[in-house]
Structure 1
């Protein structure tokens, strides 16, 4: 029997370059080739506005069966919004303010090559922390990313938070080039899987799949078949390989079906 499958994609680094719109060639391949064989879904840590900006505005709900923002805390199925939760309902307002105040103080004492604006972005299911500020340009993003690789700014920041707030049940996840996400334990990208029903296989594609990356938990999940990619072009290459393997598997299954007499 043919298995029902869905392809679930991370956004930044998988379908798009960091915080950039999807390339027309990538979108065309997804919608005109891949969608003929699989349902499509996307999951990102960003808020819904950022994801829709990158993936074509409101038409994103027509292109993808599921759209998950903030790791799935904001969820849509066939354009219909599903139930949601908030970080403040779990952590509590007082603890949340203590946490944010510590972040702002820590950032104020950092000496970086440059700083811009929007260091803390509050979302429904998480807090996004950017030591350099989310208002930096595309070139500045690359500069900070390279600086962070050498000096481990984000990793040291996370260690300081873990030391200061050992009793808060929070997960810290580095994603993209300039920030990291903070959310209640279990609210990583595996959160979105509770909404996906009726499939025999969920194929997940992501680029931050090593431990500490924001694709790690869902890539390693027993509920998904994980595909580690390096860029949108690599995603296309791996989809071509997957489609070839599925075609071969289906042809083999057809050959194994016993002939029936008329």
Structure 2
């Protein structure tokens, strides 16, 4: 895949966007010898709130710095109480994770296995757990300007033609907002192998 991305980079600018912090993305996409920020023209960690362009960091803001410690503690208290009261099939651990530019909330817990997460995803789509959670947050905190479960397109980029590839592109999925955004050409992939095939075909690699 890295060889394919290197070849693709000779034709177009490439980048990635994800909810994880840069250290996690380094594990997922880079190598011990090669920083991930050198492999892509644009690197958007924490849904774009931490960003790099051609290996150099762009200006960023911390979530707590923007929101303030007092309001942040109110938000955390509400989230943890809400999750504790949820009656869902499985709960594991790490229900709330603070990141530099966001708060990641997982009703099932980030310690759940891949199989458990996939099963919960199906349960959530049927029972709208996440949708109801977001409604409760909007009602409790109507004045602090948060966005929920969205991977918004980061600013400061010329969006002439952006091809976005993601696997959770269904409505309610983590990739849906960018996939469906009018500024992108969305491509739904099943797995890395499918992404590889689509990239080769689309860009004649």
TM-score category of the 2 structures, normalised to the smaller one:
0.7 to 0.9
Correspondence 1:235 to 2:200: no
Q: Is the CA contact (8 Å cut-off) linking 2:168 and 2:176 kept in structure 1? A: yes
Q: Is the 8 A contact 2:52 2:58 kept in 1?
A: yes
Equivalent positions of 1:74-153 (< 5 A) are 74-153=50-129
Q: Using the alignment, how far apart are the partners of 1:108 and 1:47 within structure 2?
A: 26
Say if 1:114 and 1:217 are closer, same or farther in 2 by CA, change over 3 A.
closer
Cα offset, 1:209, TM superposition? 4.3
Give the whole-Å Cα distance in 1 for the aligned partners of 2:117 and 2:180: 28
Give the total of aligned pairs. Answer: 202
Q: Highest Rg: 1 or 2?
A: 1
- Structure 1 counterpart of 2:153: 190
Q: Name the CA shift for 1:146/1:225 in 2 (closer, same or farther; >3 Å).
A: closer
Deviation at 1:44, TM superposition (A): 0.8
* Stretches of structure 2 lacking an aligned partner (at least 5 in a row): none
Alignment deviations for residues 204-262 of structure 1 (CA, whole Å, 9 cap, x no partner): 3234445554444444555x432231323332333234224xx9xxxxxxxxxxxxxxx
Q: Distance in 1 between matches of 2:138 and 2:193?
A: 36
Contact 1:43 1:189 in 2 (8 A): no
Give the direction of change, closer, same or farther, for the CA distance of 1:106–1:146 in structure 2 (3 Å limit): same
Contact 1:206–1:228, Cα closer than 8 Å, also in 2: yes
